[in-house]
Chain A
Amino acid sequence: DTGVSQDPRHKITKRGQNVTFRCDPISEHNRLYWYRQTLGQGPEFLTYFQNEAQLEKSRLLSDRFSAERPKGSFSTLEIQRTEQGDSAMYLCASSWTEGYTFGSGTRLTVV
């Protein structure tokens, strides 16, 4: 599979627990993005990496959120002390020049 892979596809967690999501981008792509999408809305930007450097973070990314991209390959997004408002689809995308390739997303439900 040469697309963008995200794992897990679904995650149900109790409020207050920590969760971590993984994204494997297309190997030739140097840019990697995380977006969050809630029901009926378009994706909202969270953060962006160029190679291993995290170049931009949205104000949506509170202190409880952290993202890494060690060695400029896969990326992880961790949410600490989850809240019900964190329930959403978390989408990863990668790109080389223009146009994104998205993964299928991780749907997080905080109960």
Chain B
Amino acid sequence: SQQGEEDPQALSIQEGENATMNCSYKTSINNLQWYRQNSGRGLVHLILIRSNEREKHSGRLRVTLDTSKKSSSLLITASRAADTASYFCATEPTGGGNKLTFGTGTQLKVEL
């Protein structure tokens, strides 16, 4: 079963704009991770934020985590056509043995 949900399910923006995706989850976690998946391919790990962290940056990516609301957001700044993909959040629950539970994903389309 899916742990959480991403919002929106689909997002279409112009190149150069920022893209924001949100993730909600249900249980207490050790960390939350974001992955990207290009059509028909495997997932690529983007960034991990631990439960005691509130914000993290990596290049054009900014992730926030609010454990009181059980939610996270992923911001991609200055988007490029190559950012077109599906983005998934995944949570490692406390006591979860390193197993990840994925959300339902946001399909991002960046148009030229």
List B residues at the A interface (Cβ < 8 Å): 1-2, 31, 33, 35, 40-45, 48, 88, 90, 92, 97-105
**Please, how many angstroms separate the alpha-carbon atoms of A104 and B37 in the complex?**
10
- Using A42-B2, A42-B103, A43-B102 as known contacts, say yes or no to A48 and B45 having CB atoms under 8 A apart: no
Q: Cβ of A101 < 8 Å from any Cβ of B?
A: yes
Give 12 CB contacts A-B under 8 Å. Answer: A6-B42, A31-B98, A42-B105, A43-B88, A45-B100, A48-B99, A56-B97, A91-B42, A98-B48, A100-B33, A102-B45, A105-B41
What chain B residues lie within 8 Å of A42 (beta carbons)? 2, 88, 90, 102-105
Q: Which 5 residue pairs spanning A and B have beta carbons closest together?
A: A42-B102, A102-B42, A102-B43, A104-B42, A99-B45
Q: Cβ of A25 < 8 Å from any Cβ of B?
A: no
Contact with B along A37-63 (1 / 0, CB 8 A): 000111111001000000110000000
**Please, how many angstroms separate the alpha-carbon atoms of A4 and B102 in the complex?**
19
A44 and B2 contacting across the interface, CB-CB below 8 Å: yes
**Please, how many angstroms separate the alpha-carbon atoms of A4 and B79 in the complex?**
28
